[in-house]
């Protein structure tokens, strides 16, 4: 889990978590001094793509109160790099739809101001 160390949730707003689709908006604050940036990349820190996907996973899971596991990525577009020193606050917009029992379709974006960093579409299985 990255929450609490890599990033902190500043605000979290969801529609009814029991009725699909669930719409979620979250503002997170990045920990720019996290040790991952010592290697990714020294002198030019960039939030790793796998961490961006993990944050979406954690936020979507929090919205539906379930542990989620990415099972299929339909479309992932990294449009801009996220420097945690320049982009400390990030906004996540997430739409969660139930496609079948135990399986969710998630569409998400990560933005700051007018900059779009990531567009994501994938499917998650709920952990049993």
Domain count for the chain, please give it: 1
**Domain-embedded: residue 81:** yes
Nearest to residue 26, comparing CAs of 111, 121, 126, 119?
111
- Note the pLDDT of residue 101: 86
- Note the pLDDT of residue 1: 87
Per-residue pLDDT tens over the stretch 14-66? 998 778 999 999 999 999 999 999 998 888 999 999 999 999 999 999 999 99
* CA 53 to mean position of chain CA atoms: 5
Mean of all residue pLDDT scores within the chain: 95
**Domain-embedded: residue 88:** yes
Query: Per-residue confidence at 127, pLDDT binned at 50, 70, 90?
Result: confident
The CATH number of residue 91's host domain is 3.10.129.10
Query: Where do runs of H (alpha helix) occur along 7-117?
Result: 49-64
- Note the pLDDT of residue 128: 62
**Domain-embedded: residue 36:** yes
Nearest to residue 101, comparing CAs of 68, 72, 125?
125
**Domain-embedded: residue 1:** no
Query: Could you tell me how many residues make up the chain?
Result: 128
What CA–CA distances, in Å, run from 39 to 81, 88, 102? Answer: 15, 19, 37
- Domain of 29? 7-126
Q: Is it the case that residue 78 has pLDDT exceeding 80?
A: yes
The alpha carbon dihedral of 21, 27, 33, 39 has a sign of: positive
**Domain-embedded: residue 41:** yes
């Amino acid at each position: 889990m990255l929450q609490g160390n890599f990033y902190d949730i500043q605000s979290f707003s969801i529609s009814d978590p029991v009725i699909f689709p669930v719409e979620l908006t979250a503002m997170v604050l990045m920990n720019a001094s996290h040790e991952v940036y010592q290697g990714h990349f020294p002198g030019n820190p960039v939030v790793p793509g796998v961490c961006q996907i993990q944050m979406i996973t954690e936020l979507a899971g929090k919205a539906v109160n379930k542990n989620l596991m990415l099972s299929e990525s339909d479309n992932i577009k990294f449009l801009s790099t996220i420097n945690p020193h320049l982009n400390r606050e990030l906004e996540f917009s997430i739409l969660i739809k139930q496609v079948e029992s135990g399986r969710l379709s998630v569409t998400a974006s990560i933005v700051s101001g007018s900059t779009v960093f990531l567009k994501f579409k994938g499917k998650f299985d709920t952990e049993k």
